[in-house]
Amino acid sequence: MMKKNLLAEAAAAAAVVVAAAAALLLCVTAPTVVVAQATCDPSKLSSCAGAIFFNLPPSNTCCVNVQQQQPCFCQYLKDPAYSSFINSTGAQRVIASCEVQFPTNCPT
């Protein structure tokens, strides 16, 4: 029983570390750019880290931020620092869960 508790605690600690690292990466590398009346700030999506990486339901804050950042998705898709993140299965699931339209016709 104690071994199970230790494993559960270790798994929880690892999850927190991964989420924090992902959020930190977004914050450190997140330039702020204005696109079509939206302020593009990928660090706003760090509120979705738990939902994206650990299959948790997205929070209201996460969905509000996804909605606000939606006009910036094409820009993020073009940026190698963010394209794999925004194209990830977890991010796609969160975007859909938040009922936000993912762009299919980004200009090249």
| Grouped pLDDT means (10 residues each) for the chain, 108 residues | 47 40 45 60 96 97 98 96 95 98 90
- Measure the CA–CA gap between 1 and 89, rounded to whole angstroms: 34
H helix or E strand, kind and range, residue 78: helix 73-78
- Measure the CA–CA gap between 105 and 65, rounded to whole angstroms: 22
Residue corresponding to tokens 């996460």: 62
Closest residue by Cα to residue 49 from 33, 31, 68, 27: 27
Residue 33 backbone phi and psi in degrees, to 5? -130, 140
pLDDT in tens, 37-62: 669 999 999 999 999 999 999 999 99
Tell me, what's the pLDDT at 108? 78
Tell me, what's the pLDDT at 50? 97
Complete domains list, the chain, with CATH: 2-97 (1.10.110.10)
Does pTM surpass 0.75?
Answer: no
